[in-house]
Amino acid sequence: MARIEILTAGHCTNLEVMAHRASPWRPAAFAAAFALIRPQGGGALLFDCGYSRHVMAAMAGFPFQLYRRLLPITLGRDAAAQMAERKETPTTIVISHFHPDHIGGLPDFPQARLVCSRQAWEWVRGRRGLAGLRRGFLADLIPADFTDRVTFAEDLPQDGQGHFRLEAGDETLSLVPLPGHVPGQLGLLARRDGGPRVLLAADALWRRTSLEDGVLPHPLAMLVHHDRTAYLATLDRLRAWKQAEPDLEIIPTHDAGA
């Protein structure tokens, strides 16, 4: 039973129709949510870490101004400030994938162990400039000692469902492969203190309603996803899971309700 707090660190602005093709063509905020997880037995982990000033600095030059023009970013209070307020020092950051709205705060946590999938890392590793932009990857956000601090999910023990088991405090959290948006995207599954299980679902879906109404992102936004077939298969799997376990709370990063 973990205490799970859903927080946000900034947002970008895009058209609502991009997330949900039946919605209006009006600008909407896509919050960069992240989660603070305090497992039983102590310690604190983050799932992703939102935007931060480091993203703005890394996007200052060509070609990333293009990205900023397309998806204007509004910074909020960053993850580091929110952790300082709570007097928490996260010892582990689980990285769902390497888009800037998920890893923007990494430079502010130089001591944390990092956990991600090897597949997600290999997909972006070494890509700079246009090669990085094509995969939405800002190499400047990656700490110089990344390889010393990272644990790859694929090297953790697996359970019967193909989830990777991450020990935290007295608990075992599950890292759930959610491929499609990018290769190797990970969600995090934990039981909320006194409540149901929670799946932090990153960008496997952008709007919670997509699970019930089956409405997909706009075709233009679907182009952003690396593998459309895998994306749809992941969405189907989440829908079936939610039907089998109605209490399960599925929280997308950009529709976290935080």
Where does this chain bind Zn ion (CB under 5 A)? 99, 203
Q: Which helix (H) or strand (E) holds 133?
A: helix 129-134
Q: What is the smallest separation between the CB atom of 92 and Zn ion, expressed in angstroms? A: 21
Scanning the structure block, which residue is given the tokens 């075992």? 172
CA nearest to 179, candidates 130, 235, 220:
235
Q: What is the smallest separation between the CB atom of 97 and Zn ion, expressed in angstroms? A: 6
Q: What is the smallest separation between the CB atom of 191 and Zn ion, expressed in angstroms? A: 26
Compare residues 71 and 150 and give the one whose CB is closer to Zn ion: 71
Cα 248 to Cα 244: distance, rounded to the nearest angstrom: 9
In contact, 127 and 135? CB cutoff 8 Å: yes
Q: What is the smallest separation between the CB atom of 40 and Zn ion, expressed in angstroms? A: 30
Scanning the structure block, which residue is given the tokens 């491929």? 179
Compare residues 2 and 250 and give the one whose CB is closer to Zn ion: 250
Compare residues 2 and 202 and give the one whose CB is closer to Zn ion: 202
Amino acid at 194: G
Compare residues 92 and 253 and give the one whose CB is closer to Zn ion: 253
Q: What is the smallest separation between the CB atom of 181 and Zn ion, expressed in angstroms? A: 6
Compare residues 54 and 99 and give the one whose CB is closer to Zn ion: 99
Closest CB to Zn ion belongs to which residue? 99
E strands within the chain? 3-15, 27-38, 45-47, 73-74, 92-94, 113-116, 150-152, 164-168, 171-177, 186-191, 197-202, 249-252
